[in-house]
Amino acid sequence: MTRAEMLAFEPKPDEYVALARAVDESASDALLDERERALRDQIREVVAAELVPRAAETDRTHSFAIEGFTALAERGLVGLIFPKRWGGTEDSNVAYAAAVEEITAGCPATSLIYVTQMHAGYPIWRAASETVATRYLPGIIDGSIFGSLGITEPDAGSDAASLRTRATATDDGGRQSYVLSGSKTFITTGDRADAIVCFATVDPALGRRGITAFLVDGTAEGLTRGRPFDKMGMHGSSTAELFLSGVEVPAENRLGDEGDGWSLLMTSVIKSRISAAAQGVGIARAAYQMALHALRAIHGSKLPDEVTFALAEMRGEILRGRLLLFAVAREVDRSASPSAGEIAMMKQSCTDLGWRVSVEAARILGPFGDVAGLGVERCIRDSKVTQIYDGTNEVQRLLIGRDTTRGLEGVL
């Protein structure tokens, strides 16, 4: 057996749980109530048994991480923030953030499938008619169908207000519907989604006021899908293009009224930015745990000082990131309109954290940081996209800047 093989990160479930417990922090645990901590611990057990053993193989083979996701769904853990009447558990956004951190620490790609179900389900819950919600929401929450959130287009992502997918109202002898034409790109789970929340415009001249969301059924005529992209990381989650060519959508599939799409999108990205931030903290923790595991095997219990200093720095950064994540998620629980700047700071700093800690973990492992079996190089690859999606971190800095100067109006 080579040294690299001996250092491979292949913990048994009980070893993984013990390692995760060893890096828990009482300061962040104190921000969780009893139910939130119990849920986090329950998810950790599932992650240890079902996700961790598959994570490296899923990455290597680029296979959709269905087993881990199904294990979470079968235990009723997918609809955390949703009402019980739709199959959810009515948990807090903080519980959701802690859950996503936990799932991501075990397998980031599974977490991307997991959060995407929430991202698709949330606008349906908030804005769909009873009939449409009844048709799709329970399946998204119990994992029997897949959802996607379709915002990004080839020429509109950061500038979502300029999206061009067109929705034209039609009336065929009293049967009202919309015809959708355009394309979406970089859509998570887009290759297989049964329910696609698709943002379109009823009139490009109206700008944001024309943006309207629709539920497009995955079997709709005129909907085609591209082959999933070959990506740097998150190999167990698929990302694809969607082409809508005269797709007829019944008027009842409109989410809210015409022109309600922009505010729906703005409330939806609050949720998806909690997801991305929690993934950032989860990846940072994964890299830290993996590095600790390997360093103990290399050096024994007495780690060199320079390694201890680096670990101390990483541990502090992870704790600060998690405290920010929980604090902002708690504020979202309390308030319908948290500060855009705080949401952006959470997303930007927690996802930058994931990248920075992963790179640092690889550095202190020397050549072993480059070896796939230890898991740290996967953390680097998986973390990159969290800085890009849900609004790039440059765009988050812009939002923070805008919020900052707005706060100064009338002061200077």
Ligand X SMILES: Cc1cc2nc3c(=O)[nH]c(=O)nc-3n(C[C@H](O)[C@H](O)[C@H](O)COP(=O)(O)OP(=O)(O)OC[C@H]3O[C@@H](n4cnc5c(N)ncnc54)[C@H](O)[C@@H]3O)c2cc1C
Residues that bind ligand X (CB under 6 A): 116, 148-152, 157-158, 186-188, 231, 234, 239, 385, 388-392, 394-395, 398
Q: Residues 271, 116: contact at Cβ < 8 Å?
A: no
Using Cβ positions, the residue closest to ligand X within the complex turns out to be: 157
Taking the complex as a whole, how short is the minimal distance between the CB of residue 236 and ligand X, in angstroms? 12
The torsion angles phi and psi of 247, rounded to 5 degrees, stand at: -80, 120
As a whole number of angstroms, the distance between CA 254 and CA 265 comes to 14
Compare residues 37 and 231 and give the one whose CB is closer to ligand X.
Answer: 231
Task: Provide DSSP, 343-409.
Answer: HHHHHHHHHHHHHHHHHHHHHHTGGGGG-GGGSHHHHHHHHHGGGTSSS-HHHHHHHHHHHHHHHHT
| DSSP β-ladder status, 254-255 and 211-217 | antiparallel
Our CA angle for 59, 65, 67, nearest 5°, is 130
Taking the complex as a whole, how short is the minimal distance between the CB of residue 260 and ligand X, in angstroms? 18
Taking the complex as a whole, how short is the minimal distance between the CB of residue 250 and ligand X, in angstroms? 23
Neighbours of 173 (CB within 10 A): 5
The partner residues of 225 in beta bridges, in order of sequence, read 242
DSSP SS3 for 89: coil
Which alpha helices (H) appear in 166-219, and where do they start and end?
A: none
- CA nearest neighbour of 163 among 266, 258, 262: 262
- CA nearest neighbour of 240 among 367, 141, 148, 373: 148
Taking the complex as a whole, how short is the minimal distance between the CB of residue 292 and ligand X, in angstroms? 28
Taking the complex as a whole, how short is the minimal distance between the CB of residue 161 and ligand X, in angstroms? 12
As a whole number of angstroms, the distance between CA 36 and CA 34 comes to 6
DSSP SS3 for 327: helix
Taking the complex as a whole, how short is the minimal distance between the CB of residue 191 and ligand X, in angstroms? 11
Compare residues 36 and 217 and give the one whose CB is closer to ligand X.
Answer: 217
- CA nearest neighbour of 44 among 133, 105, 95: 105
Q: With 0-12 CB in 10 A as exposed, 13-18 as middle and 19+ as buried, what is 94?
A: buried
Compare residues 92 and 351 and give the one whose CB is closer to ligand X.
Answer: 351
Taking the complex as a whole, how short is the minimal distance between the CB of residue 272 and ligand X, in angstroms? 8
Compare residues 137 and 385 and give the one whose CB is closer to ligand X.
Answer: 385
Q: Residues 80, 89: contact at Cβ < 8 Å?
A: yes
DSSP annotation of 296: H
Compare residues 116 and 289 and give the one whose CB is closer to ligand X.
Answer: 116
Compare residues 149 and 202 and give the one whose CB is closer to ligand X.
Answer: 149
Give, for 193, the enclosing helix (H) or strand (E): none
Compare residues 148 and 201 and give the one whose CB is closer to ligand X.
Answer: 148
Taking the complex as a whole, how short is the minimal distance between the CB of residue 380 and ligand X, in angstroms? 15
Taking the complex as a whole, how short is the minimal distance between the CB of residue 108 and ligand X, in angstroms? 11
Taking the complex as a whole, how short is the minimal distance between the CB of residue 398 and ligand X, in angstroms? 5
